[in-house]
Structure 1
């Protein structure tokens, strides 16, 4: 079990940020593993966070029960399963930092592109319709990067945010998506030895923070305006991209 004070100084805010992300403000969750890798190896950080993420998913699934896009999920879950499968096959053969840097660049460029367009002043009807091909691609990338470093948020948001879904529907869709993805990941993580006894004990110590973070995220999502919600989402995506790029290069 990890007992280092510096670790817990980073782990507590990392878990809370993950909870806020699970509660609806997607984007912050991608910061958790990079924060932990400042003091522990990436593989250990990913294995430690997964049980906590699964616990958060239970609260998130209850909070957003019935509020998610079934039409979107048919495509997104198929792509995610493919991405997870590729991640399992690539485990141990890819540099985690290279993956972080790649996703960070994509997230940064996408955020800047959105800021340069007057999307927030457009009507919802002008948003692009769902695309099965794009949904499969980005959910596949999300499943892959989620398996490697729990960094699946930026890719799936790249696909979902431009569609200008109603804020609670968007939040619920991402909560259900990552809820399924994380519970599926438990199987290969156990098989690959990522869920060690020390990691599980440390995860148990941090587990009480899970419902607190979820509550904070749901509370914020319900109370901010739709325009502000999207501004915050794009900003969080940009910050997550910066953090991933920095850690990948450093």
Structure 2
């Protein structure tokens, strides 16, 4: 493990301290993911980026996100809104290659700050329950949400928010909305993992960080599932919007910290 994560920590933390940070990232990400159905990468990457560069943190979270999806999706399959999921996936398949080509030329931290601010604004609007001008379950809205998710997916680990906002802004039953997000995030993680392998970013070092996060992710996932089971369905939308707001603020704060730190290192 020591050799796997060596060289990823620019602050010179000891191996023990690095493992503590990675475990905390796993617990936070696992809890968010299991409760809301989305957000492991959104929650874990900002924590990891406090002690390692995005090029190491982003690929490391994808196998954990995928593993959680594979474990939870069978139990959610009957509630997935398959038509909505299909249009999200089609949009993502078109947008991801474009995102990889475009966003790889833009500093990831600047993009994460910009995306986080847009997501925060969208959460505030959705919280007020406005009459949206688009049918959020209509094919155009879902395709655009999927396309935008794909564009954001390359190099930022923040590909899911447009799809999350579309589903949370729709009239889907809360349990159906959560199940659909579980399926979409699992697909996005599989696509991201494949791209990570193809580009060489998912390597021994990033897999070492993945393994360091795994126990914490299992603990956080267990807690998230238990709490969701005790939550009233009508509370899901509000709680999930709150989670999205928290992780977006966390992501923008972490990105700003990394940008500030780069001025001195």
Match of 1:41 in 2: 53
In structure 2, list runs of 5 or more residues that go unmatched.
6-13, 258-265
Q: Which of 77, 89, 107 matches 2:101?
A: 89
Q: Which of 162, 165, 177 matches 2:169?
A: 162
Give the Cα–Cα distance (whole angstroms) in 1 for the partners of residues 23 and 201 of structure 2: 21
Give the Cα–Cα distance (whole angstroms) in 1 for the partners of residues 153 and 227 of structure 2: 24
The list of structure 1 runs, each at least 4 consecutive aligned residues, that deviate by more than 6 angstroms after superposition, is none
Partner secondary structure for residue 91 of structure 2: helix
Match of 1:229 in 2: 236
Match of 1:186 in 2: 193
Is residue 72 of structure 2 the alignment partner of residue 64 of structure 1? no
Give the Cα–Cα distance (whole angstroms) in 2 for the partners of residues 28 and 10 of structure 1: 18
| Structure-2-length-normalised TM-score | 0.82
Bigger shift: residues 139-148 or 42-51: 139-148
71 and 91 in structure 1: CA distance in 2 versus 1, 3 angstrom threshold: same
Match of 2:151 in 1: 144
Partner secondary structure for residue 163 of structure 2: helix
Partner secondary structure for residue 77 of structure 2: coil
Equivalences for residues 1-250 of structure 1 within 5 A: 1-2=4-5, 4-26=15-37, 28-29=39-40, 30-90=42-102, 92-117=104-129, 128=135, 130-250=137-257
Q: How many residues align?
A: 243
Give the Cα–Cα distance (whole angstroms) in 1 for the partners of residues 138 and 219 of structure 2: 35
Partner secondary structure for residue 36 of structure 2: coil
Give the Cα–Cα distance (whole angstroms) in 2 for the partners of residues 118 and 184 of structure 1: 33
Give the Cα–Cα distance (whole angstroms) in 1 for the partners of residues 124 and 100 of structure 2: 32
Bigger shift: residues 218-227 or 165-174: 218-227
Give the Cα–Cα distance (whole angstroms) in 1 for the partners of residues 190 and 149 of structure 2: 15
Give the Cα–Cα distance (whole angstroms) in 1 for the partners of residues 61 and 173 of structure 2: 29
Q: State the Cα deviation string for residues 90-117 of structure 1 (Å, max 9, x = none).
A: 3531211122112111111112223334
In structure 1, list runs of 5 or more residues that go unmatched.
120-126
Give the Cα–Cα distance (whole angstroms) in 1 for the partners of residues 159 and 254 of structure 2: 16
Give the Cα–Cα distance (whole angstroms) in 2 for the partners of residues 144 and 60 of structure 1: 26
